Structure 1
Amino acid sequence: MVSKPHGGRIVRRVASDKTRERILSEQNEYPRIYVEHGEAIDVENIAHGIYSPLTGFLTDEDYTSVLHHMRLSDDTPWTIPIVLDVSKPDFGEGDAVLLYHRNIPVARMHVEEIYRFDKREFAEKVFKTTDPTHPGVSRVNAMGKYLVGGEIELLNELENPFSDYTLRPVETRVLFRERGWKTIVAFQTRNVPHLGHEYVQKAALTFVDGLFINPVLGRKKSGDFRDEVIIKAYEALFQHYYPKDAAVLATVRYEMRYAGPREAIHHAIMRKNFGATHFIVGRDHAGVGDYYGPYEAWEIFDEFPDLGITPMFIREAFYCRKCGGMVNAKICNHDEEFRVRISGTKLRKMIAESKAPPEHMMRREVFEAIRGFENPFVE
């Protein structure tokens, strides 16, 4: 059956129309906190239950427990601190404040706690490094001195150009049940699909009822594929190479932390809340640089037998000239000279030069979908 929500229920923290109207009419009476895009996305993910069982930003007890034990204070598995930082609060505990992003009030927050935190400890525990060149560490170093914990109520959504592909956990759960899927494997991606991705997805689909492709949309670095390109590429793959009732494509907005193994658990929890029973874990899932071991993101799942979603560890795929198809090291015994590995860097270079990648690297229909964009990359 569709997995139970993490913590037992899908959280919904969206203000009713009447409450929203009243709050907005009184907005000048509230203290304000201006939040960055990533924090505004966290607000949405809390409000719509993607971060269930969280109802707001972490208080000190939960923050400390997550940092040191990778669990909330009630022992629920949780690995990434979802926190709101401020430099100098001009409000107190017990107050209600409004969270603004680009002058739009996105949520009301009931301030339960204001507390200091150690940035170095945060970085060491979550990212296993204090190297300021690590993108996650850099973000922590730029945070204010205080964290504010408390429940939120969503008032306004951020502009969403991909609303047609946006499904919330309450919606995906209904969809999976309507399709009669009892077992669902989720696949997270930030890239256009190549044959290696397709191999992994279909290998996992062999063992379950349905496949849930869940691209992460949001801030990207220069050279990454643009969000709309990823969507079009997957549309082409679905149209030509997936049975209609076997797979679902829906996006999620989320800012990567690049926390490696800890973030792999967090990603699994998010997909559990969507209703997935299984989750494909990449070899260096949510990694960056060489901060994490090649299989750390797999090994950490041994510490969470109570996670409530089954990880699937499928080895990296490559094309074998001797086998004549896509395989992995577990099922192919041929020497390295016969193995053609798919390089994301090479694929990007070919696409930038409008050269069609070989058929053992990328489907022609996917390439044509990408080529339909004048510039498919983030500048």
Structure 2
Amino acid sequence: MALQPHGGRLVSRFSGSSLDGMAAIEVSNDLRSDIENIADGVFSPLEGFVGKEDFESIVKTGRLKSGLAWTVPIVLDVDEQTAAKAKAAGEVALAAAGEKFATLKIDEVYFIDKLQSAKLIYGTDDAKHPGVAKTAAMKDRLLGGKIQVSKKIAQSPLRKYRKTPAETRAEMAQRGWKTTVGFQTRNVPHVAHEMLQKAALNLYDGLFVNPLIGKKKQGDFKDEVILSAYETLIDNYYPKDRAMFVTLHTEMRYAGPKEAIHHAIMRKNFGCTHFIVGRDHAGVGTYYHPFAAHEIFKGYADLEIQPVFFPAFYYCKKCLSYANERNCPHGPEVREELSGTKMRRMVSSGEIPAEHLMRPEIAKLIVSFKEPFVP
């Protein structure tokens, strides 16, 4: 059976109230996606942007002030003048590209030490880390308070597979899945990913493939490439009644182990009972130990969703098949390692990956894109 949502209930923050005449704060389209994630329960138990006590507890302990696991603060940063106006109004509209879509009831306005906060969240204060750079660029005030969404984001080709946690839970129940394993990705699938996912399908009733669609760093595959590649893979190589393909619309934070916990919480809210935690999960560069995301789960025994740690799959030229250290006796000299980095490097150099590395339908699809990478 699906686990209870994180915190015990699925948050719903939708309202049909009019926003006409309300002063508005402009937010990015990426933040609008996260506001909708709050509203439909992807970020349960959050009901809005975190206040100062929760923020400080999150960055210092990886938990809300209540003690509930939460590792990535969801915040709205504004300048001093906007903060003063919002506080005086008590409630403001939120707008993206000029369109008002939600309200924020202001509970508090506060400051943070951006450098210290970044170091606690990302484990580094190196300005080259994308998360640190984003934190450093934040405006000086944060607004805490509950949101209500009046207008959802319009459907688009990138959002055609988006579902709410209520919808995914209902579908899992309808399919009769007692156990569901979630898989997070920000890359196109190679065959080692497929072998790992199918190994999980041998153990659990259903596979929840949940690629992250949203802002990524330069050199990552574009969202439309990831979406098309997984659509092709699942249509051609997965049993239809055992796999569910749903997109998650939020940005990568590259917070390594802290983000692995965040990813697990979101999949718990979607209804997953288990979650695959990969090597260097949500990592970037060499900022995190390859298995740091595995280690952090030892401190979150209360999370309920069970992490699944698979050894890395590689192609063994001696076995002539995909294998891992548990079932293959051969040394590194006959192993062909796969990674998202390697796939990106091959594609960017014009090399089409061999069939044992990437399904031919997917390789052809990727090279059909004039520019498959985030510029």
TM-score (norm 1): 0.93
- Using the alignment, how far apart are the partners of 2:88 and 2:288 within structure 1? 38
- Using the alignment, how far apart are the partners of 1:227 and 1:84 within structure 2? 24
Say whether residues 1:115 and 2:107 are aligned partners: no
Where 1:107 maps in the other structure, the secondary structure is strand
Which residue number in structure 1 is paired with residue 92 of structure 2?
97
Counterparts in 2 of 1:141 and 1:244: CA distance versus 1, 3 Å: same
Which residue number in structure 1 is paired with residue 296 of structure 2?
300
The alpha carbon displacement at 1:336 in A equals 1.0
The alpha carbon displacement at 1:140 in A equals 0.7
Within the candidate set 278, 285, 309, 1:313 is matched to 309
* 1:318/1:326 contact within 8 Å kept: yes
Which residue number in structure 1 is paired with residue 12 of structure 2?
12
- Using the alignment, how far apart are the partners of 1:97 and 1:320 within structure 2? 59
Say whether residues 1:151 and 2:151 are aligned partners: no
Q: Which runs of 5+ in 2 are unaligned?
A: none
The alpha carbon displacement at 1:116 in A equals 1.4
**One-letter identity of the residue aligned with 1:145:** D
Within the candidate set 58, 79, 85, 1:87 is matched to 79
Moved more, 92-101 or 169-178: 92-101
The alpha carbon displacement at 1:104 in A equals 1.4
Percent identity among equivalent residues? Answer: 48
Equivalent residue runs for 1:196-211 within 5 Å: 196-211=192-207
Where 1:152 maps in the other structure, the secondary structure is strand
Counterparts in 2 of 1:94 and 1:329: CA distance versus 1, 3 Å: farther
Which residue number in structure 2 is paired with residue 55 of structure 1?
47
Moved more, 309-318 or 65-74: 65-74
- Using the alignment, how far apart are the partners of 2:286 and 2:88 within structure 1? 41
Which residue number in structure 2 is paired with residue 377 of structure 1?
373
The alpha carbon displacement at 1:94 in A equals 7.3
- Using the alignment, how far apart are the partners of 1:5 and 1:55 within structure 2? 14
* 2:188/2:225 contact within 8 Å kept: yes
1:281-325 Cα distance to aligned partner (Å, 9 max, x none)? 111111111111121100000001110100001111110011221
Within the candidate set 29, 40, 48, 2:32 is matched to 40
Q: Which runs of 5+ in 1 are unaligned?
A: none
Moved more, 210-219 or 354-363: 354-363
- Using the alignment, how far apart are the partners of 1:343 and 1:135 within structure 2? 20
Within the candidate set 277, 282, 305, 2:278 is matched to 282
- Using the alignment, how far apart are the partners of 2:122 and 2:344 within structure 1? 28
Which residue number in structure 2 is paired with residue 362 of structure 1?
358
Equivalent residue runs for 1:172-191 within 5 Å: 172-191=168-187
Where 1:306 maps in the other structure, the secondary structure is helix
* 2:187/2:340 contact within 8 Å kept: no
- Using the alignment, how far apart are the partners of 2:89 and 2:279 within structure 1? 44
Q: RMSD of aligned C-alpha atoms?
A: 1.7
Counterparts in 2 of 1:374 and 1:290: CA distance versus 1, 3 Å: closer
* 1:94/1:110 contact within 8 Å kept: no
Where 2:110 maps in the other structure, the secondary structure is strand
**One-letter identity of the residue aligned with 1:347:** M
Moved more, 5-14 or 221-230: 221-230
- Using the alignment, how far apart are the partners of 1:358 and 1:348 within structure 2? 14
Say whether residues 1:167 and 2:159 are aligned partners: no
Which residue number in structure 2 is paired with residue 338 of structure 1?
334
* 2:256/2:293 contact within 8 Å kept: yes
Say whether residues 1:130 and 2:125 are aligned partners: yes
- Using the alignment, how far apart are the partners of 1:289 and 1:228 within structure 2? 24
The alpha carbon displacement at 1:230 in A equals 1.6
TM-score (norm 2): 0.94
Say how many residue pairs are matched. Answer: 371
Within the candidate set 66, 71, 92, 2:63 is matched to 71
1:192-244 Cα distance to aligned partner (Å, 9 max, x none)? 11011001111111110000000111123343222222222112211221111
